[in-house]
Amino acid sequence: GAVVSQHPSWVICKSGTSVKIECRSLDFQATTMFWYRQFPKQSLMLMATSNEGSKATYEQGVEKDKFLINHASLTLSTLTVTSAHPEDSSFYICSASSGGRQTTDTQYFGPGTRLTVL
């Protein structure tokens, strides 16, 4: 149980275009989903937290107009990188939690999406 999927697994796009990444919880309802960014050989950096039906909460330094997050249902959250530029190239990982903002809840991670902007 507790499977999280991401689509696509990798994407290459031209500078200036927008890219949408989907994160789905397959066998549980995810009240809260998290989006991380990971640079090569580095740790995960939390970008934002989304709760179903409400606006996402962004971490300091993350541009909310650049990284649009939607959590329209209990099983789906999307991250849209708008007007992508080469510096947005990275590995994006989502995670999902079933219990919301509870310390006891474990986050389950998706397999990640590698974004390359040319």
Partner 1 sequence: AQTVTQSQPEMSVQEAETVTLSCTYDTSESDYYLFWYKQPPSRQMILVIRQEAYKQQNATENRFSVNFQKAAKSFSLKISDSQLGDAAMYFCAYKGSNYKLTFGKGTLLTVNP
Q: Look at the chain and count its residues.
A: 118
Selected from 21, 25, 49, 115, the binder of partner 1 by CB under 8 A is 49
| Residue with Cβ nearer partner 1 (36 or 78) | 36
Would you count residue 22 as binding partner 1 (CB under 8 A)? no
Would you count residue 35 as binding partner 1 (CB under 8 A)? no
Taking the chain, what is the end-to-end CA distance rounded to the nearest angstrom? 37
Q: How far is the CB of 93 from partner 1 (least distance, A)?
A: 7
Selected from 15, 29, 83, 106, the binder of partner 1 by CB under 8 A is 106
Would you count residue 33 as binding partner 1 (CB under 8 A)? no
Would you count residue 29 as binding partner 1 (CB under 8 A)? no
Task: For the chain, give the DSSP string.
Answer: ---EEEE-SEEEE-TT--EEEEEEESSS--SEEEEEEE-TTS-EEEEEEEETTS--EEPTT--TTTEEEEEEETTEEEEEE-S--GGG-EEEEEEEESSSS-TTPPPEE---EEEEE-
Would you count residue 34 as binding partner 1 (CB under 8 A)? yes
Binding site for partner 1 (CB under 8 A): 32, 34, 38, 42-44, 46, 49, 91, 93, 95, 97, 100-109, 111-112
